Chain A
Amino acid sequence: MLVQHLGPIASSLFSLLAIACLLLSFVMLGSRWLNNYLYAFAAESWTIAALSAAVGFYGSYPELYLIAILTLLFRGLLLPYLVWRIIRRLDVDREIHLLVQPSTSLIVGALFVMLALSVSFQVAAELHLQLTVATLALTVMLSMKLIGFLILALRHEAVSQILGLLVLENGIFLGSQILVPGMPLLIEMVILFDLLIIVACFGVLVGYLATHAGTTSSLELKRLVG
């Protein structure tokens, strides 16, 4: 288990990067401009890439350098570029009808983080890992999961929903770097590629939505009920 014998510098570096990711997802939650979502997401991906490299360095998992480079290329550059193209093509720059004010959603997000913290404390106590970075990683993973769902629920512009989904996956990626750095390389690589395909699909779908359903806001999607 990597987290059990980490030096103080390594664990504070991991903690710093994990907390930076959490803060960036709050930036996404609190903003109403789609471009800000996108920049925050890209920054989050770079942070995760840095974390992969750090884990690779301190835990001596050389294959994680490859993961770091791929994360940087795919999640840090290619995915934001694809989403940016969708934003430009749709000509929307912000959420027009907010369901909940950003300030309120920030508070709900904070409550979710507390929930995640209590769950991970329980699990970590079971595993005798209370004071390690594993607790933090689990907390950040679960909170990013919950914040992603919050974004999916509260934002209804198609692009914000795509980004919400990407936050869900980012959370898992971040947690898995710290908790299971030895996970087979193949799986991680395929998951990266998989994500790329998802976003490509979304790009096509958003285009269809705009031309055939006449809207990209999920609030207007209410033909099918019952």
Chain B
Amino acid sequence: MIGALILTLTGAPALAIIGCMAVRRPRGAEAINLIASAVSFACAIPLPFLIDGRQLVFWNDYIMLDRMSAWVILCTAIVYFLASIYAIGYMRLLNEDRRLCQFYALFAGFGLTTLIGPLMNSVGIYWIAIELTTLVSTFLVAFERVAESMEAAWKYIMVVSAGISLALLGTILFYWGGSFVLGPSYTMTWAVLADAAPRMNPILLKLAFLLVLVGYGTKVGLAPMHSWLPDAHSESPAPVSAMLSGALLNTAMIGIVRFTGVTRAANLGPLPQLSLVAFGMLSLFLGALFIVRQPGIKRLMAYSSIEHMGVVALGFGFGGALGVAGALYHMLNHSLNKSLMFFGAGVMMRAYGTKEIAMIHGVGRRFPTEGALWLAGAIAITGAPPFGLFLSEFTIMRAGLKPSFSWAVYIMAILLIVIFIGFMNHFQAMYYQPGPNGEEKGGSLSAWCAVPMWLSLIPLLVLGLWWPACAWNYLTSIAQSLNLGTP
């Protein structure tokens, strides 16, 4: 049953790649991609319910499903589905009908690679899956083919490939460390690695872990390895930005979390989790600095992604049931919320013909419905109640309130307030400051753009008001299996 679901989950986008290339008609390609994403979404929903604490392996141990991968796949599938709906409305605005088939083939490919990443059981193959996400998404970032997006794509592939090669080095060092315990030739799966870790050399493990953290941290966009992220997120088409932010970052984060679990099993002391906290603090700090004085609307959202990945890293760094559950809940909320923000930013960008916050005026009057949705999303993304991110950030802060980390919680609280003020200041300017040439006529947006905004805001509100008990139990059981206790 679960095996069939996984096969459909990944098979649908894989078939969509072929389908989009074969039909050669833009309307056909968008329908194929939409159907594929809907099928993936439908398969991803039951996975967390069907899996009961076991770790299931398929296909010669190459595919592995546990509670954490089911959760991350759910986040990814949601974003893929929402972005596919939105892409139909948005990509028609670009007047690039000729290249739409190519776009949807790449988009389905991007969906496929982000979905299979968390499923990889072998540590080496996981690295390859992450590298594949980069290769596919580079061409999506470069899709608009103007100088800015070419620059963003170049920086993206350059910085991320260089960073991820550090992760490969770390992976090889892990393998080397394991070869002292398990013999020269063995299959390095996550479980084998965690089993062997207590008997490996601690110095070698520390070196390998730090390399892996910096390597995958580049892909997650943790500061100071974040430099590709604002460019790539701001210059790609809006549905791709949503996928990059809501799906890709989580897929890379799961690797860091698994490696942290491995080092935790090896009793390396506080170093792994302290370094997660340090990178998280730095990302939060840097995000706050750039959010406050940000002139570009999509770059604002990109820096907010850096900030939120910092919060997730802090959650895993604080550890304990609260920290891990909060961080995983934060992933889901952030995926929903950031999709909403990029969807809104994309339509505003097209409607006003600019990416600059200073040139956008009177959003609320011009687009009453979509404007209200986007404003609600902005309130949510800063972590204000009653939305999901408030609950998860609050849980993470509670996890940190212990003597060793209380300093981090206080700084985190201050930075979150700074970010709230900065964000609201930008939105206040866009909504309530009069434009230079008076009132502008209201425009209408395609329903393809508005519906996914509703679909992301409503669950966000529900998740903020009510954290289901089953979800709480589910997430704390992941925390137990990861064993990220208090350092």
Contact = CB atoms under 8 A, between A and B. Distances in A.
B150 A145 contact: no
A169 B164 CA distance: 10
Interface majority SS on A: helix, strand, loop or mixed? helix
Contacts of B179: 1, 180, 182
A145 B252 CA distance: 22
Nearest to A216: B154
Contacts, number: 130
A165 interface: yes
A127 B204 contact: yes
Given A126-B201, A183-B175, A205 B138 contact: yes
Given A127-B180, A175-B172, A209 B154 contact: yes
Nearest to A188: B124
B122 interface: yes
A108 interface: no
Contacts of B157: 201-202, 205
A194 B128 contact: yes
Interface string A156-182: 001001001100110110011001111
A172 B184 contact: no
B231 interface: yes
Interface string A180-216: 1111101100110010011001101100110011100
Contacts of A171: 169
A169 B184 contact: no
24 contacts: A1-B184, A2-B184, A123-B207, A127-B204, A148-B165, A149-B162, A152-B162, A158-B154, A169-B165, A179-B172, A180-B184, A184-B122, A191-B124, A191-B128, A201-B157, A204-B139, A205-B157, A208-B150, A221-B151, A221-B155, A224-B231, A224-B234, A224-B235, A226-B296
B169 A145 contact: yes
Contacts of B299: 226
A172 B165 contact: yes
A223 interface: yes
Contact of B165 (A168, A187, A204, A218): A168
Return the 6 tightest CB-CB contacts between A and B, nearest first: A182-B185, A182-B184, A187-B124, A213-B147, A221-B151, A224-B231
Contacts of B284: none
Nearest to B158: A161
A223 B184 CA distance: 49
A122 interface: yes
B267 interface: no
Interface of A: 1-2, 119, 122-123, 126-127, 141, 145, 148-149, 152, 158, 161, 164-165, 168-169, 171-172, 175-176, 179-184, 186-187, 190-191, 194, 197-198, 201-202, 204-205, 208-209, 212-214, 218, 221, 223-224, 226
Interface string B137-165: 01100100111101111110110011001
Interface string B410-450: 00000000000000000000000000000000000000000
Interface majority SS on B: helix, strand, loop or mixed? helix
A140 to B, nearest CB: 13
B165 to A, nearest CB: 5
A115 to B, nearest CB: 13
A72 B267 CA distance: 42
Contacts of A145: 165-166, 169
Given A180-B179, A182-B185, A190-B128, A165 B161 contact: yes
B290 interface: yes
A201 B137 CA distance: 11
A84 B349 CA distance: 41
Contacts of B158: 152, 161, 165, 218
Interface string B221-251: 0000000001100110000000000000000
A3 B356 CA distance: 59
Contacts of B473: none
B118 to A, nearest CB: 18
B295 interface: yes
A218 B154 contact: yes
B362 to A, nearest CB: 25
Given A126-B201, A180-B172, A181-B184, A190 B125 contact: yes
B330 to A, nearest CB: 26
B294 interface: yes
Nearest to B156: A205
Contacts of A190: 125, 128
A90 to B, nearest CB: 14
Interface in B292-347: 294-296, 299
B149 to A, nearest CB: 8
B257 interface: no
Nearest to A137: B176
B151 A224 contact: yes
Contacts of B203: 122-123, 126
Contact of A201 (B138, B176, B235): B138
B373 interface: no
B162 A187 contact: no
Interface string B180-191: 100111111000
Nearest to B166: A145
